[in-house]
């Protein structure tokens, strides 16, 4: 099983600032990496797939990077609606696995 490790667990950021979230895979997942956003009481929403491709309707302030085992999600200028929990997920191998999540909170 590929273990996905996200850091930090919590990120305190002010509105308008840049946020960088990290995700590490225990073995290569090539570019088969997705990022999801989840707000309280809501289902997850796909932000990024193939490590760096924004899903339909996702604002350009969200960008993904990396390949192999190291990945990042960057939010260039945090808006109030971006405070949420973010998960990475690999879909390179079975079982599909998620990171434990990074909570982005208001500083």
The CA-based diameter of the chain, rounded to the nearest angstrom, is 38
Options 16-24, 40-48, 58-66, 67-75: segment touching other proteins (CB under 8 A): 40-48
Give the SS3 label for residue 80.
helix
Burial of 13: CB neighbours in 10 Å, binned 0-12, 13-18, 19+ = middle
Neighbouring-strand partners of residue 90:
33, 97
Pick one of 43, 57, 60, 81: the residue that binds other proteins (CB under 8 A).
43
- 97 makes contact with other proteins (CB under 8 A): yes
- 65 makes contact with other proteins (CB under 8 A): no
User: Residues in the site for other proteins, rule: CB under 8 A?
Assistant: 34, 36, 38, 42-46, 49-50, 53, 55, 87, 89, 91, 94-101
């Amino acid at each position: 099983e590929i273990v996905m490790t996200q850091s930090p667990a919590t990120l305190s950021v002010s509105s308008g600032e840049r946020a960088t979230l990290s995700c590490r895979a225990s073995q290569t997942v090539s570019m088969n990496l997705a990022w999801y956003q989840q707000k309280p009481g809501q289902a997850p929403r796909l932000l990024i797939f193939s490590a760096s491709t924004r899903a339909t309707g996702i604002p350009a302030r969200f960008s993904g990077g990396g390949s192999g085992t190291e990945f990042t999600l960057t939010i260039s200028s945090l808006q109030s609606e971006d405070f949420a929990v973010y998960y990475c997920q690999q879909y390179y191998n079975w079982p599909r696995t998620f990171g434990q999540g990074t909570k982005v909170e208001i500083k």
